[in-house]
Chain A
Amino acid sequence: MNCPIEDRHPEILVAYAAGELEREIARALERHLADCAACRPVVAGQTAVWKALDTWEAPPVSPDFDRRLYRRIEEGARLSWWERFTRPFRPMPLRQALPLTASAGLLLMAALLVYHPGPIAPVAAQREAVRANQVENALDDLDLLRQLGTADSTEGGHPDAL
């Protein structure tokens, strides 16, 4: 048993049960339902769903809802700039904070591994080493000159004789 409405446009039946169809269309559908065994159970089922949902009442709102809200608004207005800055992070539960911290740590480690200070440090060290050698050599030369000078004065030789 094929019905074009039930087959291709069942949303019309849902809309009918929800009372959303225009009066003319709803009347036409009711005439169709009288003869269509395919559509009738769909409409009956949807009407039952609609009625069942009607029975679900929500509990009343707490009488102090507004008072709590305004208190929070006032507390928010009194917060320092630092508290406002850190507030989004504070309610973060451990299960959210832990992966974030771990990720940040991993990123930091990766950055440290990838980062190479380059040849600047060794060159500088070499320069220091070269300078130290030069100073050492210069001091040796001075010592030598001093010794020679002393020898000259004791032996009475002229420096030009060297």
Chain B
Amino acid sequence: MGVAAAATLDYDAELMLRVKEGDGASFGVLLEKHRTSVIHFIYRLVAEQAVAEELAQEVFLRVYRSRSSYEATAKFRTWLFRIATHMALNWLRDQKHERGQEHLDEGTADLPARQISDRRPSVEQKLVREAELREVRQAVAALPAKQRAAVLMHKYEEMEYTQIAKVLGCSDSAVKSLLFRAYETLRARLAHMEAT
């Protein structure tokens, strides 16, 4: 598929085809456009910022190294997130036996200082919010890996069911089912936060 044909598919695929033809600047554009979302997606999956950046480096390296065999058969973003999901889920699988869930509490230091409203929160409010945030992280981390990936793509990357299905290699209805089960599990775990 040539550059002109890919343009009808999506602009990112067109850029990737230019990378294939030796245009390094187009790779820079793709990196600039997707860097943050890929790192944040992986971070929320693996819950460790350093690991997320390392895996994201591998993702973009893989994209660059496979430029010569790239075919614009799907949306570039779908392809990119398929690689990212694959790498993150593999990492989680490898870590599972070694570390269990202990890393869930470690990553708190990675969090940025939250931008709260102009009114400065009291120490108590701050503590409560941090505790709530930790609960959210733990509730998401406790989901099965595929459900977690689906929720993160749906909630934070605003992907459609079809796109998530392509990333995860399943049907649209399977994604709907995954998401419903995941959100219901989260509702059960975070129900007490409803009143706050």
Q: Does B associate with A?
A: yes
Binding site for B on A (CB under 8 A): 10-11, 14, 17-18, 42, 44-46, 48-50, 52-53, 55-62, 65-66, 68-69, 72-73, 76
Looking at the assembled complex, report how far the CB atom of B100 sits from the nearest CB atom of chain A, in whole angstroms.
Answer: 16
Count of interface residues, chain B, beta-carbon cutoff 8 Å: 41
Q: How far is the CA of A73 from the CA of B19 in the complex (A)?
A: 14
Q: How far is the CA of A72 from the CA of B57 in the complex (A)?
A: 9
Q: Determine whether the beta carbon of B112 is less than 8 Å from that of A57.
A: yes
Q: Given A55-B133, A57-B111, A59-B110: A69 and B61 within 8 A (CB)?
A: yes
In the complex, whether B155 has a CB less than 8 A from a CB of chain A is: yes
Residues of A with C-beta under 8 A to B180: 10-11, 14
Q: How far is the CA of A56 from the CA of B141 in the complex (A)?
A: 12
Residues of B with C-beta under 8 A to A59: 43, 49, 110-112
Q: In terms of DSSP, what is the predominant structure of the interface of chain B?
A: helix
Residues of B with C-beta under 8 A to A44: 194
B41-75 at interface with A (beta carbon < 8 Å): 43-44, 49, 53, 56-57, 60-61, 64-65
Looking at the assembled complex, report how far the CB atom of A92 sits from the nearest CB atom of chain B, in whole angstroms.
Answer: 11
In the complex, residue of chain B having the shortest beta-carbon distance to the beta carbon of A54: B155
Residues of A with C-beta under 8 A to B36: 61
Q: Determine whether the beta carbon of A73 is less than 8 Å from that of B39.
A: no
Q: Determine whether the beta carbon of A49 is less than 8 Å from that of B57.
A: no
In the complex, residue of chain A having the shortest beta-carbon distance to the beta carbon of B152: A53
Residues of A with C-beta under 8 A to B179: 11, 14
The contact sample of 14 A-B pairs, CB cut-off 8 A, is: A14-B179, A14-B180, A48-B187, A48-B190, A52-B186, A53-B156, A53-B186, A56-B136, A57-B112, A58-B39, A59-B49, A59-B112, A61-B35, A61-B39
Q: Given A56-B44, A58-B40: A14 and B183 within 8 A (CB)?
A: yes
Looking at the assembled complex, report how far the CB atom of B57 sits from the nearest CB atom of chain A, in whole angstroms.
Answer: 5
Residues of B with C-beta under 8 A to A11: 176, 179-180
Q: Which of A45, A49, A62 has the most CB of B within 10 A?
A: A49
Residues of B with C-beta under 8 A to A52: 132, 135-136, 186, 190, 193
In the complex, residue of chain A having the shortest beta-carbon distance to the beta carbon of B27: A73
User: Which 7 pairs, one residue from A and one from B, show the smallest C-beta to C-beta distance?
Assistant: A58-B40, A48-B194, A45-B187, A49-B186, A11-B180, A52-B136, A59-B110
Besides the contacts A52-B136, A59-B111, what 20 more A-B pairs have beta carbons closer than 8 Å? Answer: A10-B180, A14-B183, A18-B155, A44-B194, A45-B190, A46-B187, A49-B187, A52-B132, A52-B135, A53-B136, A53-B140, A53-B155, A56-B44, A56-B136, A57-B114, A58-B40, A58-B44, A60-B112, A65-B57, A73-B61
